[in-house]
Structure 1
């Protein structure tokens, strides 16, 4: 059975239209704003994590960073909707990266980009949904939402193995971030990597930030896998739960400080990408 020429042409035209929309100045601005929002969140989460390492109080997770902003008067709701639009636009931009922008490349490149950018579509979309929930007054603790999600997965026909697969996926993403940082694969994302003081600084921030974020994701993945093995989905409570668990070990607090520094470095790097990133 052969494809209809008209249908094939319509599909190509739709892909071309989507690519042109993704390259528009408006989406470019909003996607860069999304990187700036993510930068702020990583810096806030890293700061909270550092406080936790010293025995302070705070939730080192997305809701822990967004919650205080949502409660700020009188601009809380406005900040929430602005963050939602920015992160949703960044998710849309990554969707174009995973689909129409790579449609003419070899299959292997399309697959790799589909996995890397496709996972970011989900992550950025989740952050946008969190902003929207807080804007609508229904924001919840990220740890509770993660635990509820884990319980739903375990209760599904796929059961605990599916939750373990989620953990393995997060481990893989974490390992990718560590590799990306150590191999300096982030360099093409920025326009300014000449042999200058700025280039050296951004390179150091990129290495430390990606590795720190990768280690944080690795810990979250381990918590999902432990919850699956123990058949206790309530144990998978996200990054904050992972950091709290580390405090029970002698090396816990220093490791949390390292992760916190890495998250802050990643936030500063994301801020630089918002300004000088290749889009």
Structure 2
């Protein structure tokens, strides 16, 4: 997951500079899947993300019982959201491993089409958008309030801790903004009954690039995603979850 954020961030920077690419999971995985070690990397990524999803499921259902009522709800929502995120990425890895990987924007649009065609229709797709938007707000809150510090107490009061603090602050806020943008497209697709409008992170960034203030904003988000990826690497090594 950390590597994915770094790769997506660099692809987004390339878009700002006039390059090409898809700043999403599919765009980041495509060159890796095409390499000689592609199948091994894809199945390895699938296994890792599926394991993370199961672990977060345990956090949201079993370990949450040890906390107070208020903490239970907070942990259930945060860990439950990560179950969905890690699970969807695991499925994407599996798709590329089987040689069926495709553009993430197309996958998101297809998902929106299925949801809109279901009995729940527009309310269901709006709910999906609001859920993603809510996760984005949570990431911004976690970053702005530096709630991630508890995960890296090992570096508290050190110079390296200050650097990690900057990575965590910028990274969480950038990730939150990217999720809000993606969630907003789901809501617009539902309101306009146009599933093609929900094109995920890549589509939201490219639409943002078309606005006058778009390039610098996308550049900041891109750097923030790279920072989040680096922070995630440090957390995986030293973090207390």
TM-score, structure 1 length as denominator?
0.84
Q: Which residue of 1 aligns with 2:40?
A: 78
Match for 1:134 among 88, 92, 96? 96
Residue 238 (structure 2) aligns with: 276
Residue 213 (structure 2) aligns with:
251
Alignment partner of 1:101 is 2:85:
no
CA–CA separation in structure 2 for the residues paired with 1:278 and 1:82: 24
Q: 2:29 aligns with which of 57, 66, 72?
A: 66
Following superposition, the deviation at residue 59 of structure 1 comes to 0.3
Q: Residue 20 of structure 1 aligns with which residue?
A: none
C-alpha displacement of 1:187? 0.8
In the alignment, what sits opposite 2:163? 201
Deviation at 1:192, TM superposition (A): 2.0
Give the corresponding residue for 1:165. 127
Unaligned runs of 5+ in 2: none
Give distance in 2, aligned partners of 1:217 and 1:265: 16
TM-score (norm 2): 0.97
Residue 42 of structure 1 pairs with residue 5 of structure 2: yes
Structure 1 spans left out of the alignment, 5+ residues: 1-37
Aligned to 1:124: 86
Q: Distance in 2 between matches of 1:194 and 1:213?
A: 23
Give, in angstroms, the shift of residue 105 of structure 1: 2.3
Q: How does 1:5-24 map to 2 (within 5 A)?
A: none
* Aligned residue number for residue 242 of structure 1: 204
Identify the residue that residue 52 of structure 1 maps to in structure 2: 15
Moved more, 219-228 or 107-116: 107-116
Write the distance in 2 (CA, Å) between the matches of 1:175 and 1:83: 27
Are positions 1:89 and 2:34 aligned together? Answer: no
Q: Find the counterpart in structure 2 of residue 210 from structure 1.
A: 172
Higher CA-based Rg: 1
Q: Distance in 2 between matches of 1:78 and 1:162?
A: 36
Give the whole-Å Cα distance in 1 for the aligned partners of 2:95 and 2:184: 27
What is the aligned length?
241
Task: Tell me which stretches of 4 or more aligned residues in structure 1 moved more than 3 Å.
Answer: none
Q: How far does residue 65 in structure 1 lie from its aligned partner after superposition? A: 0.4
